[in-house]
């Protein structure tokens, strides 16, 4: 007798091949049989008639490491069908933390992540190993693929100062990355528009990524620019992979800014050319036309030097504000920004800002957009976040069809109630994967169901080297998602994001239901995966 028998579903197995009617038997947390099993018996039998049975979705870009220690059930992610999340992205990982710089690094990460909920229990870990042990001890509702953040490592060694590392500093950073790889990291991430990643040259990154390449790991990068500098930024990421020997994953691929939209073909061609050269270069995206990040990301690079306290001091100085305004108008993330397309999504202590655009908020206060932004950043302790509408739907369709692109939320584990229900986080936190299946597969027919599932499961599993996940095959772990292809849809919106999707009634992790009949079971069978 099996533990669980899922009968009569349409199995789309994650390989990209056509779906087929079959039963799926589970025993001991693994898939025991896939096929027609008319005489089989099980302790739990589920009729999956009308449902698609797929591998659990793999979120290739997540910041759930900043929510899981205090909200391990990760409802907004598992309700999407996500069973594994790649965390430690954009140069930010909660570890390792060095004794002499620990407090400053923590303050900066607390501010830059700009999330709702309870403070992280930073006191529970120091090394990368002890952070992963803490996650294992807490228990999570999904599996974790951890990365070590270059920003965290560099801030630990060099604080938040600009300029290249000296030989001793570079050696310390390289050793820290090597140790994290030995302790379980799958690779290194960078966030090259955020300090201190933005202060780092490519040659230094390639050097400290050498332990990643040596161990067959992956270099994940929020590249140095997704607008005017997109092409050179993609080229830089590829070159870092070439020099370090690491595989490359370009994070949340996008072409930002109306005047840059026509560069999409050249950007995708750079990836194609690298792959033709034999390099393992891929990317991920979320299916929305807006991005989201900290409001402070609009400040010029030089304004971030020294960390949170130094930034606050500059923002309080009228003369420095004038200098920042000039810089923001000519370079960086804020250049050419359309302020009527910048939505405030989280503003602790200033909830009245949430759900409104910078242009109207500034006008209401009789301020320029820059002046209003400076004040809002200070008023919220640098924790305010924004949603910026900057992508083209035509490009999104082209990108989604590209064979080197996977799917990622760029989100955390939120919930419709409790401390993680505050603010107006980007709807990608709740709707990324069902939006692909409902809007782009069923309604728009941009890609087939089988191709979408491949991009969500088999493809990322292959990239990550997860040999026992990503396919519905005998012997694999029973990470499974069951959804109704006629109903699956995202419900989260920019002004009302805290809504779970519909049409995904069942999600299993390691053979245990974490969502059953549309309700989170409270189970935490997830594990930190081994590289």
**pTM recorded for the entire structure:** 0.97
- CA terminus-to-terminus distance, the chain: 33
Q: Specify the domain boundaries for CATH 3.20.20.140 within the chain.
A: 57-289+390-464
**pLDDT interval class at 113 (50, 70, 90):** confident
Is the pLDDT at 241 greater than 80, yes or no? Answer: yes
The fold adopted by the segment(s) 2-56+476-520 is Urease, subunit C; domain 1 (2.30.40)
Q: Which two tokens stand for residue 239?
A: 């070159």
Give the three-class secondary structure for 221: strand
Q: How far from the centroid of its chain's Cα atoms is residue 337's Cα? A: 23
Is the pLDDT at 3 greater than 80, yes or no? Answer: yes
Q: 439 near 509, Cβ under 8 Å?
A: no
**Biggest alpha carbon–alpha carbon distance for the chain:** 79
Is the pLDDT at 111 greater than 90, yes or no? Answer: no
- pLDDT tens digits along 393-450: 999 999 999 999 999 999 999 999 999 999 999 999 999 999 999 999 999 999 999 9
- pLDDT tens digits along 318-329: 999 999 999 999
% of the chain beyond a pLDDT of 90: 97
Mean pLDDT of 228-251: 98
Please report the pLDDT score of residue 115 as a whole number. Answer: 80
Return the C-alpha torsion angle 36, 41, 42, 48, nearest 10: 40
Alpha helices in 424-481 (DSSP H): 428-435, 449-456, 458-464
Distance CA 17, CA 11 (A): 10
Q: 358 near 342, Cβ under 8 Å?
A: yes
Q: 470 near 461, Cβ under 8 Å?
A: yes
34-41, long-range: CB within 8 Å, 24+ apart, which pairs?
Answer: 34/472, 34/473, 34/474, 37/5, 37/7, 40/2, 40/5, 41/1, 41/2, 41/5
Please report the pLDDT score of residue 93 as a whole number. Answer: 98
- pLDDT tens digits along 293-310: 999 999 999 999 999 999
Mean pLDDT of 135-142: 98
Please report the pLDDT score of residue 448 as a whole number. Answer: 98
Is the pLDDT at 486 greater than 80, yes or no? Answer: yes
Please report the pLDDT score of residue 164 as a whole number. Answer: 96
Is the pLDDT at 38 greater than 90, yes or no? Answer: yes
Identify the sign of the CA torsion 435, 406, 482, 415: negative
Is the pLDDT at 36 greater than 80, yes or no? Answer: yes
Distance CA 358, CA 355 (A): 10
Is the pLDDT at 231 greater than 80, yes or no? Answer: yes
Please report the pLDDT score of residue 531 as a whole number. Answer: 85
The correct answer on CATH 3.20.20.140 for the domain covering 57-289+390-464 is: yes
Q: Burial code of 375-397, b = ≥16 C-beta within 10 A, e = fewer?
A: bbbeebebbbbbbbbbbbeebbe
Q: Which two tokens stand for residue 329?
A: 């108008």
Is the pLDDT at 334 greater than 90, yes or no? Answer: yes
Is the pLDDT at 114 greater than 90, yes or no? Answer: no
Q: 416 near 75, Cβ under 8 Å?
A: yes
**pLDDT interval class at 39 (50, 70, 90):** very high
Is the pLDDT at 77 greater than 90, yes or no? Answer: yes
Is the pLDDT at 315 greater than 90, yes or no? Answer: yes
Q: Which two tokens stand for residue 255?
A: 């072409």
For all residues of the chain together, what is the average pLDDT? 97
Distance CA 296, CA 111 (A): 9
Q: Specify the domain boundaries for CATH 2.30.40.10 within the chain.
A: 2-56+476-520
Q: What residues contact residue 235 under an 8 Å CB cut-off, 6+ apart?
A: 270
Q: In Å, how far are 165, 314, 480 from 304, measured between CA atoms?
A: 17, 9, 43
Please report the pLDDT score of residue 120 as a whole number. Answer: 95
Is the pLDDT at 504 greater than 80, yes or no? Answer: yes
452, 510, 508: which is closest to 476 by C-alpha?
Answer: 510
For 147, half-sphere exposure in the C-beta direction (CA atoms, 13 angstrom radius) is 32
Helix (H) or strand (E) holding 315: helix 308-315
Please report the pLDDT score of residue 116 as a whole number. Answer: 80
% of the chain beyond a pLDDT of 70: 100
**pLDDT interval class at 462 (50, 70, 90):** very high
**pLDDT interval class at 117 (50, 70, 90):** confident
């Amino acid at each position: 007798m099996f533990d669980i028998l899922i009968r009569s579903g349409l199995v789309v197995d994650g390989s990209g091949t056509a779906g087929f009617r079959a039963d799926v038997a589970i025993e001991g947390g693994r898939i025991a049989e896939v096929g027609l099993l008319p005489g089989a018996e099980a302790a739990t039998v589920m009729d999956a008639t009308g449902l698609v049975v797929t591998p659990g979705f793999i979120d290739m870009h997540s910041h759930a490491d900043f929510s899981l220690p205090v909200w391990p059930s990760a409802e907004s992610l598992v309700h999407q069908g996500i069973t594994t999340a790649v965390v430690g992205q954009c140069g930010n990982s909660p570890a390792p933390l060095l004794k002499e710089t620990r407090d400053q690094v923590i303050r900066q990460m607390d501010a830059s992540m700009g999330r709702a909920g309870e403070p992280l229990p930073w006191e529970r870990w120091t090394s990368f190993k002890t952070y992963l042990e803490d996650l294992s001890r807490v228990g999570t509702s999904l599996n974790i693929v951890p990365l070590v953040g270059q920003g965290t490592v560099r801030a630990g060694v060099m604080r938040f100062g600009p300029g290249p590392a000296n030989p001793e500093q570079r050696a310390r950073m390289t050793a820290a990355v090597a140790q994290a790889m030995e302790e379980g990291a799958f690779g290194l991430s960078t966030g090259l528009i955020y300090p201190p990643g933005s202060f780092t040259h490519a040659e230094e990154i390639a050097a400290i990524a050498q332990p990643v390449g040596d161990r067959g790991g992956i270099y994940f990068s929020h590249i140095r620019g997704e607008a005017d500098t997109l092409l050179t930024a993609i080229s830089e990421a590829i070159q870092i992979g070439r020099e370090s020997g690491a595989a490359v994953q370009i994070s949340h691929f996008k072409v930002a800014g109306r005047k840059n939209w026509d560069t999409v073909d050249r950007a995708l061609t750079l990836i194609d050319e690298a792959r033709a050269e034999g390099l393992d270069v891929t990317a991920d995206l979320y299916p929305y036309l807006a991005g989201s990040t900290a409001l402070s990301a609009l400040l010029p690079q030089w304004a971030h030097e020294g960390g949170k306290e130094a930034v606050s001091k500059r923002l309080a100085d009228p003369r420095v504000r004038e200098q920042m305004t000039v810089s923001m108008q000519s370079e960086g993330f804020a250049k050419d920004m359309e302020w009527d397309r910048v939505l405030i999504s989280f503003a602790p202590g200033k909830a009245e800002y949430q759900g409104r655009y910078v242009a109207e908020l500034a006008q209401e206060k009789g301020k320029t957009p820059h002046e209003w932004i400076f004040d809002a950043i200070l008023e919220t302790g640098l924790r305010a976040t924004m949603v910026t509408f900057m992508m083209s739907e035509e490009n999104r369709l082209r990108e989604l069809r590209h064979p080197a692109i996977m799917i990622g939320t760029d989100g955390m584990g939120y919930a419709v109630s409790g401390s993680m229900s505050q603010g107006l986080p980007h709807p990608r936190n709740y709707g990324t994967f069902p939006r692909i299946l409902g809007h782009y597969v069923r309604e728009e027919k941009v890609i087939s169901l089988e191709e979408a599932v491949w991009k969500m499961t088999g493809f990322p599993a292959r990239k990550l080297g997860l040999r026992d996940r990503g396919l519905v095959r005998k012997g694999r772990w029973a990470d499974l998602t069951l959804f109704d292809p006629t109903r699956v849809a995202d419900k989260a919106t920019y002004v009302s994001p805290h809504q779970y999707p519909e049409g995904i009634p069942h999600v299993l992790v390691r053979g245990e239901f974490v969502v059953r009949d549309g309700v989170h079971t409270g189970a935490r069978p997830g594990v930190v995966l081994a590289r």
